[in-house]
Structure 1
Amino acid sequence: MEILSSPGLLAAVFCIVVVAAIVQAGLGMGFGQTAAPLLALIDPHLVPASVLFLGMATSAWGAWRERDAIHWNEVGLGMMGRLAGVIAGSAILASLSDRRLFMLIFGLLIASAVLLSVSGWRMAFNRITLLLMSSFSGLMGTITSVGAPPMALIYQDRPARDARPTLAAFFAIGCALSLAGLYLSGWAGLRDFELALLMVPPMLIGTFIARGLGARFDRRFRPALLIVASIAAAMLIYRGLA
């Protein structure tokens, strides 16, 4: 792994994962949206699989802690849409041989995620919108490891006690489906799992730090997260077009 031979790059990766874990623990979302675009700038090979491994772990832990409040009927319907998105995303990745084109698509999807996050668009929650947004989440999550914004659109008006554990279960299973698609399409391998293991310590450190911050870490940090993601998306698009 190239980053192991560069202390500077390794330190940058560790810092990014620590900050992403703090954001995830403080806001209940945002690990992929913080880590993925910045890690892609360092090395496109760091995404999406390694970030999906970490996202699966954090989501599974959140779902387990509040497992009694999970709405499994919503998770089941959402998985149908997620699977469709995974298949589409895996097919797109399997057809890509140029990493520059990957960076361009990656950057455009991250930019789309930012726009969805700031749009203020309200979408009714029903079976059709759940299937539609979970499909979009599967497509974005498989290609970029950032699949939260589409689901946030339809869950934003749901009570947190219902939405949080249900979404955690959705993303835990959804990340597993995306990883399966990546491995079957040949886009992921053993190296990605090794990179994910490398990032576990900073993830745990960030989670520990977030506990110490407590109530001081609130949604005022969300604009900073979106600004960082926007800048990273612009740089990825530029690199893809260069």
Structure 2
Amino acid sequence: MDWPVVLGLGAALVAGAFVQSSIGFGLAVVAAPFVVVLAPELMPGALLVASFSLPVAQLLLAPVDISWRPLGWALVARLVLTPVGVVAVAFLSVRSLSVAVAVLILVTVAASLTTVEIRMTSRNAAIAGAVAGVSGTATSIGGPFLALVLQHERPERVRSTLAAFFVAGAVMAIGSLSVAGEFTRAQLLAGLVWLPFVAIGYAVAAPLRRHLRTEHLRRGVLSFSALAGASILLRALVF
């Protein structure tokens, strides 16, 4: 590994952890484009390792308010589709995966901005979990889909539910990638090196979390999801 590059990517992890600590997701969305360009061999395992620590901290240190029914449906669907994500890692290019994830994010945001309301139902949660089973395993990006389903909930509930979803999802993804031989020692080491950077982002976001309201959260989720989808698509098509 090129250790100066790995350490330099820590700045992206700080920014991503700050965003995720505020609106409930975003670590992988912020960091993945930089990792793909500068150290593609670390995808997706290193980000999965780094992103595992943040939701654990959120569940242990922040107020917990989990919406259990949607979470259960999302996790079952993610478990079923995780092997598809492993196959995608083995046979598809990073560019192909990135384009697919970006398009899915943008379509989901567009649907949410129309008269078609995306509400927190068991069906929508299962669909979000199924998509995350593929995209979260293949690219480490799975949060925007369930976040959009939860967008009308209280900020504390959104963050707690997503944190529980990320913890279980990361375990599924890392376990499946390991069995398939797609999770390397280099990815593990890089992910561990990034943990302090994640902690910094979490700590810096603490003052903002206290003042975030439901409508502000919804706007943040939609705006950041759209920005993330557009940036991922642009990076995949240009670079």
| Mapping for residues 1-242 of structure 1, pairs under 5 Å | 1=1, 3-4=2-3, 7=4, 9-10=5-6, 12-65=8-61, 69-96=65-92, 101-117=93-109, 119-121=111-113, 122-211=117-206, 223=223, 226-227=226-227, 230-239=230-239
Q: Does the Cα contact within 8 Å between 1:52 and 1:179 map onto a contact in 2?
A: yes
Q: Does the Cα contact within 8 Å between 1:63 and 1:70 map onto a contact in 2?
A: no
More displaced stretch, 9-18 vs 195-204: 9-18
Deviations 1:10-38 (A, max 9, x none): 45312211211222223332111111122
Q: Hey, what's the Cα distance between the residues in 2 that align with 1:12 and 1:117?
A: 31
Deviations 1:83-113 (A, max 9, x none): 12211111222334xxxx2223224313432
How many residues were matched structurally? 231
More displaced stretch, 126-135 vs 110-119: 110-119
Return the letter of the residue paired with 2:70: E
TM normalised by structure 2 equals 0.82
Q: Does the Cα contact within 8 Å between 1:84 and 1:138 map onto a contact in 2?
A: yes
TM normalised by structure 1 equals 0.81
Give the 3 Å change call, closer, same or farther, for CA 117–60 of structure 1 in structure 2. Answer: farther
Q: Does the Cα contact within 8 Å between 2:101 and 2:229 map onto a contact in 1?
A: no
Q: Hey, what's the Cα distance between the residues in 2 that align with 1:76 and 1:29?
A: 18
Q: Does the Cα contact within 8 Å between 2:70 and 2:121 map onto a contact in 1?
A: no
Give the 3 Å change call, closer, same or farther, for CA 23–193 of structure 1 in structure 2. Answer: same
Q: Does the Cα contact within 8 Å between 1:141 and 1:147 map onto a contact in 2?
A: yes
Q: Hey, what's the Cα distance between the residues in 2 that align with 1:30 and 1:225?
A: 9
**Matched-pair identity in %:** 22
The secondary structure found in structure 2 opposite 1:157 is coil
- C-alpha displacement of 1:61: 1.9
Return the letter of the residue paired with 2:180: S
The secondary structure found in structure 1 opposite 2:203 is helix
Q: Hey, what's the Cα distance between the residues in 1 that align with 2:22 and 2:64?
A: 22
Q: Does the Cα contact within 8 Å between 2:85 and 2:134 map onto a contact in 1?
A: yes
Return the letter of the residue paired with 1:236: A
Q: Does the Cα contact within 8 Å between 1:114 and 1:230 map onto a contact in 2?
A: yes
More displaced stretch, 225-234 vs 211-220: 211-220
Q: Hey, what's the Cα distance between the residues in 1 that align with 2:209 and 2:63?
A: 23
Q: Does the Cα contact within 8 Å between 1:93 and 1:185 map onto a contact in 2?
A: no
- C-alpha displacement of 1:215: 6.8
Return the letter of the residue paired with 2:95: M
Structure 1 gap segments, 5+ residues each: none
Deviations 1:153-172 (A, max 9, x none): 22112333433312211111
- C-alpha displacement of 1:221: 7.2
Q: Does the Cα contact within 8 Å between 1:51 and 1:196 map onto a contact in 2?
A: yes
Return the letter of the residue paired with 2:201: G
More displaced stretch, 115-124 vs 85-94: 115-124
